[in-house]
Amino acid sequence: MYIQRIKLKNWRNFTDIDVQLRERVFLIGPNACGKSNFLDVFRFLRDIADPDGGGLQRAVKERGGVLKLRSLYARRYPTIEIEVHLGADLSSPPQWVYSIGIKNQKGGDNPPILAWEKVWKNKNLILKRPDEDDEEDPKLLTQTALEQLRFNREFRDIQVFFQSSLYLHLVPQLLRYPDTFEGATLRADPFGKNFLERVIKTPEKTRKAWLSKIEHALRIAVPQMKQLTDIKDDMGHPHLEAVYEHWRPKAGKQREDQFSDGTLRLIALFWSLLETRNSILLLEEPELSLNAAIVAKLPAIIARLQKGKKSQVILSTHSADLLSDPGIDGREVIMMQPKKEGTEARVVSSIPEIRQLLEAGLTISETALPQTAPLNIQQLELELEL
């Protein structure tokens, strides 16, 4: 299943956007324009689909409540709206449409409630809330039907799909020293603290095969690295281990706490791409800590590892090297630009002047990326001097 289209109203930076999605989606724009907030929509859908994780109430609370989720520009119409169109491919009419509206209850510290929840299957409306039960007991509107197994039988395919999405923004220090960073555990481990546990829980045959593929890829990016494998220490904690062939006649083994930031991020990226099947992988600036030559290859690597897996990869980036790949289609790129009343999001191929340049053979890096630079950026160094 793929998300073919998403519509947002009053979601964080976005007062009203409607964009088509592809198998790969590249989000570009200046800092603080909403790229991370756009990615968070899919994490939010995953969270409200979790019947064991608190559903709607926890998902909203973790994000600071409705007032933090709702766009600052929402005035006359304060309901937060999310609508997604889903299908087995990207060219056919959607098989499913899921729509949700969220608002605050009036008065006090009342929990957020549904303004509505609707599901269409093949254009037929199969769920419409509020219904008679909701009218009789308004507390029912504090939960989505999506998170309740008793009520989502007719559209459980959507629930399963939303739950399967994976977000990755690996922080190397969390992976190296997980015990050092105590405190609240975030759902789905977005920053990689428990990445090694994910690896070790993978069936052994699959785990060994994937680590072997990653090792062969890393031999190009990290030539001195050999024999990547997983092990457990005396306490049963999982680790990655590899042989590093340096100038010494006998190579020395090293564990993940001695790997470079770039190596750790590459391993996690490749692993996540391999394990993403029939679901969505959300990536936050995958170029971080990587050599420019490696970054330039990432779009092709992503496309290659997506083949035959019905996976969708949505990533944010600032990298000119990554966007220099001539294989990136203008339909795959969403450009975000802050305006007076919230951020505007447009598929690059819908912008005539950029489309013409792409058709002439220029890349996204040469055509769209320069338009995301902040206005008056040349004055930055002068301001610092003052």
pLDDT tens, 222-279?
777 888 898 888 888 888 998 877 645 566 788 888 888 999 999 999 999 999 888 9
Instruction: Dump the DSSP string for 199-234.
Output: HHHS-HHHHHHHHHHHHHHHHHHSTTEEEEEEEE-T
pLDDT range class, residue 295, cuts 50, 70, 90:
very high
Closest by CA to 166, choosing from 194, 141, 129, is: 194
Using alpha carbons only, how large is the chain's radius of gyration in Å?
22
* Token pair for 46: 């995953």
In this predicted model, which residue has the larger pLDDT, 377 or 35? 35
In this predicted model, which residue has the larger pLDDT, 94 or 176? 94
Cβ atoms of residues 265 and 290 within 8 Å: yes
pLDDT tens, 20-53?
999 999 999 998 899 999 999 999 999 999 878 7
Query: Hunting for tokens 């305006």 — which residue is that?
Result: 339
Which pLDDT value is given to residue 221? 78
Cβ atoms of residues 226 and 219 within 8 Å: yes
10 Å CB burial of residue 15 (0-12, 13-18, 19+) is buried
For the chain, give the percent of residues with pLDDT over 90.
63
DSSP tag of 53? T
Arithmetic mean of pLDDT, 72-80: 85
10 Å CB burial of residue 363 (0-12, 13-18, 19+) is middle
* Token pair for 129: 């809330």
DSSP tag of 249? S
pLDDT range class, residue 140, cuts 50, 70, 90:
very high
Instruction: Dump the DSSP string for 289-355.
Output: T--HHHHHHHHHHHHHHHTTTT-EEEEE---TTGGG-TT--GGGEEEEEEETTEEEEEEGGGSHHHH
pLDDT range class, residue 108, cuts 50, 70, 90:
low
At residue 62, what are phi and psi to the nearest 5 degrees? Answer: -60, -20
How many C-beta atoms surround the C-beta of residue 188 within 10 A?
15
Instruction: Kindly report the pTM of this predicted structure.
Output: 0.91
Q: CATH classification of 2-165+279-385 is 3.40.50.1100, yes or no?
A: no
How many C-beta atoms surround the C-beta of residue 177 within 10 A?
11
